[in-house]
Amino acid sequence: MTDKAVDVLLIEDNAGDAVLIRQVLTECPIPVTLHIARDGEQALQMLTSAHFKPGLIILDLNIPRITGPALLERWKPEETPIVVFSSSMNEAEKARVMALGAREFVAKPTDIDAFSDAVCAMVTRWIGGKASECQSCH
């Protein structure tokens, strides 16, 4: 584990979810710098910038301008893990995004503690560390 903050790109149009995810990440032992794109178009601009290489991308599927699946079709990550974090329960959509290169599909819990646990687990699984070290994880 490193002391250098890892850039995480959150692609999320729901302001409440974005605030909650930011809060959860401040309580995790892994230093993270959170960048937020509110739609697929903004995310694509950030991802195609030569200066921005996130260590993890958390992607909501139902975002404006360019949807999550369309973003995955347009931008192919080389080494950056993409975790889809969505309230969608559509199995065909899940299979599609996994085929397009997402590394994991995590259903957004409606329970606040489960939501926090899911976010912390994503970060620790893909960036490193132990979920038990995260104070927001139960």
pLDDT tier, 138 (very low <50, low <70, confident <90, very high otherwise): very low
Number of structural domains found in the chain: 1
Query: How high is the pLDDT of residue 79?
Result: 82
Residue 61 lies in a domain: yes
Over residues 43-72, mean pLDDT: 92
pLDDT tier, 134 (very low <50, low <70, confident <90, very high otherwise): low
Residue 107 lies in a domain: yes
What CATH number does residue 109 fall under? 3.40.50.2300
Q: What angle do CA 9, 48, 82 make, to 5 degrees?
A: 40
For residue 35, pLDDT beyond 90:
yes
Alpha helix ranges (H) inside 27-111: 40-47, 68-74, 91-99
Over residues 25-31, mean pLDDT: 86
For residue 132, pLDDT beyond 70:
no
pTM above 0.85, yes or no: yes
- The domain of 64 spans 6-133
Residue 1 lies in a domain: no
- 46-60 in b/e form (b: 16+ CB < 10 A) is bbeeeeeebbbbbbb
Q: Are 30 and 135 in contact (CB under 8 A)?
A: no
Residue 138 lies in a domain: no
